[in-house]
Amino acid sequence: QVQLVESGGGLVQTGDSLRLSCGLSERTYDFYTMAWFRQAPGKEREFVAAFNGFYDQTRYADSVKGRCTISGDDTKTTLYLQVDSLKTEDTAVYLCAASLVRGATTPVESTAYDLWGRGTQVTVSS
């Protein structure tokens, strides 16, 4: 069974940096786009960033633009998210997702994603 597994979360202070990783257990399918979403307690899941490895495209939410860098490896099985200048409002469970939608797209809607990881907790303290 194909799975996504996130890692790299933790407890940090404001201004710190983190690098999250997401690994795809096997490349049975061509997931054109992989993305990060996050969900804070009591809030809806929100889009953070997406990476289309086939067309080398990226997209970022306004809330993280300039502070985040999303990237993937050449095997298209590992996704990274570098987050700098962390803020307390970045506290959330960060989830990795993969989409089978073909083409040069970087969907922001969670419904466009077919596979999800369980998430990794990021807590930013002031």
| Average pLDDT for 73-86 | 93
Query: What's the maximum distance between 2 C-alpha atoms anywhere in the chain?
Result: 42
* 125 exposure class (CB count in 10 Å sphere: 0-12, 13-18, 19+): exposed
| Average pLDDT for 40-68 | 96
Work out the angle at residue 74's Cα, subtended by the Cα atoms of residues 70 and 77, and round it to the nearest 5 degrees.
75
**β-strands 78-83, 18-24 pairing:** antiparallel
Say what percent of the chain tops pLDDT 70. Answer: 100
Q: Report residue 91's pLDDT band, with 50, 70 and 90 as the boundaries.
A: very high
